[in-house]
Amino acid sequence: MNELEKFSPGLDGVVATETSISYLDTIQEEIVIRGYDLIELSKSVSYVDIIHLLLEGRLPDQSEKNSLETSMLERYELPSAVFEVLKLLPEQTHAMDGLRTGISVLGGYDHAIDDRSMLVNKERAYRLLGQVPSIVANSYRILTKTEMIHPDKNLPYSANFFFMVTGRKPSPIEEKIFDLSLLLYSEHEMPNSTFTARVIASTQSDLYGALTGAVASLKGNLHGGANEAVMHLLLEAGTISKFEELLRTKLSNKEKIMGFGHRVYMKKMDPRATMMKGALQQLCHIKGNDLLYHMCEAGERIMEREKGLYPNLDYYAAPVYWMLEIPIPLYTPIFFAARTAGICAHVLEQHAQNRLFRPRVKYVGERHVL
């Protein structure tokens, strides 16, 4: 067979690059991050630990972790012009489009933007990790004409992010669960948004451009936007029985149901979803309202029985964010903010060992002879 006749729709199963960052091990059923099982890590470390692991290649000791958290706290502030640009956007602008615009504007303030060295790229990544939560929270606040909330440098990283998003400081359990969600969203091998960022970076484009493209990719409801769709579906139903009925109706109409199925996890539940399911149960118990938990379980049973599909991370992350009182339009931007650590690691790796992505096509059009 001619090499150009080999075709895998959606590049399914095609190995696009070598990486030492992460790997979905379908045999051991593990999400491997720099050699560690992400699920096992989630039981003992925080999101800041994962940032260090992704960008430095190893877990930090306590001193390094404290230093990293402090350095990101010092990078929270954004140029005022970023907010001025966001104020010019139409009210109907999606929160992800506000985030995309904000990151793009930041690139103009990087006086070393043409420097692709590992040292400068890492500094750039840490600065963006400090600034992206502020763009997420305040681009939405500007679009909804609510008061902006500036970072509280007295709060740990995840608690500060939660504070800017909700307008209140989290309880210890809320902070822990929100941090867990960031950790679980942090990195997942080569999904569409990460691949998009690496393709852009392979042209020797800068980190801001790669992240801007990744935001556009993650906005789609077949990728990051699924968590918002899940929550709207749960709210539309309102009760267990109506949710079951709604799912059956959609199945009979052959409609796609968000929050189920995954290109990698086809015969089991996404292990990250299992962790978020436990977090949802814990939150529901604390708040004295377990309706969403039982609704989700009912939907899980129907989809497994009728379609052989299992929940992915978005299915249980959505009601967790709802119970944390996070506005629905911010679910996907928060996903991106968490994934910024992983995407930055991939861009740094691409710049360090680059080869331009330039695939070919299988032509199925006509040929004309003049």
pLDDT of 324: 98
Choosing from 262, 270, 346, 351, which is the catalytic residue? Answer: 262
Residue carrying structure tokens 């379609």: 307
Cα dihedral 350→352→353→356 (10° resolution): 50
> Is 94 annotated as catalytic?
no
Residue 225's pLDDT band (boundaries 50, 70, 90)?
Answer: confident
Q: Which residue among the candidates 49, 152, 223, 294 is catalytic per the annotation?
A: 223
Distances in whole angstroms, Cα of residue 84 to Cα of each of 48, 88, 338? 30, 7, 25
Candidate from 19-28, 91-100, 192-201, 227-236 with smallest mean pLDDT = 19-28
Is 262 among the residues known to form the active site? yes
For 58-79, write each residue's pLDDT tens digit: 999 999 999 999 999 888 889 9
Cα–Cα distance, 247 to 299 (Å, whole number) = 7
Q: Exposed (0-12), middle (13-18) or buried (19+): which is 278, by Cβ within 10 Å? A: middle
Report the distance separating Cα 15 and Cα 266, nearest Å: 19
pLDDT digits (tens, 9 = 90+) for 279-332: 999 999 999 999 999 999 999 999 999 999 999 999 999 999 999 999 999 999
Four-CA torsion 126, 127, 132, 137, nearest 10 degrees:
120
What is the reported pTM? 0.95
Share of the chain above pLDDT 70, in %: 97
222 pLDDT higher than 70: yes
Q: Helix, strand, or coil here: 106?
A: helix
Query: What pLDDT sits at residue 5?
Result: 65
* Sign of torsion over alpha carbons 320, 55, 15, 356: positive
Q: Which two tokens stand for residue 226?
A: 């699924």
Q: Which of 209, 234, 12 is nearest to 108 (CA)?
A: 209
* 223 is an active site residue: yes
